[in-house]
Amino acid sequence: MSVRIKIIIIIAILVVIILLTVLILIPNFTASISNSTAIEAEKQNYQTLEAQLEETMLVEDEYYLLNAEYQKYLLKLPMENNISVITNEFYDIADYSNVDIHSIDYSEGSVGDKEGEMKLNKIDADVIIVGSYYDIITFINVVEKIPRISKIMNVMIQSTEDNYEDINAYIKIEMYSESKLINISK
């Protein structure tokens, strides 16, 4: 074999190797570049979604904070008057204070009829209780501290003829509830 044929065979083998290399490496290189681009796009998408999630979590935290505040004010100023709930509260307080309730009379009214002013329902409760002086004071203090907006308007204490240890107390209490939803929009 001549040197020329050897060189041609070597060049042909090199060309085949280069062609095979190019045919194998270029598609892999192109696939690698497209995979790299897809990975970068996914990273950007992930970062965007992570930022949106963080924003959503902040909004959720704010929602829960506002909802808790709303629930607190709803206890103080309920949407409706539920006399049975109020009566149960009074009897629970009486049990706690160690006094007996002889009667509870309710009357309803409203406050704030001017335009733009929040209209409130007002419940007047006339409660007659019997107990020791300190137990009656405990009852009044607990009623003043219940979450519902309430005011002790009048207290009249009178001793009983039968037993000097127990006294009667006539207590007038005003409580309020909201009669319609407030329009908070500005």
Is pLDDT above 80 for 141? yes
Report the predicted TM-score, pTM, of the whole model to 2 decimal places: 0.56
**Residue 34: what pLDDT?**
87
Mean pLDDT of 62-70: 86
Average pLDDT, the chain: 83
pLDDT tens digits for range 13-22: 999 888 888 8
Give residue 156's pLDDT.
Answer: 92
Percent of the chain with pLDDT over 70: 85
Give residue 25's pLDDT. Answer: 78
Q: How far is CA 32 from the centre of its chain?
A: 50
pLDDT digits (tens, 9 = 90+) for 92-126: 999 999 999 999 998 887 776 666 666 777 888 99
Q: Smallest Cα–Cα separation from 82: which of 101, 103, 108? A: 108
Q: Closest Cα to residue 90, out of 36, 134, 127, 35?
A: 127
The DSSP code sequence of 120-163 is: EEEEEEEEEEEE-HHHHHHHHHHHHHSSS-EEEEEEEEEE-SS-
Confidence class of residue 130 from pLDDT cuts 50, 70 and 90? very high
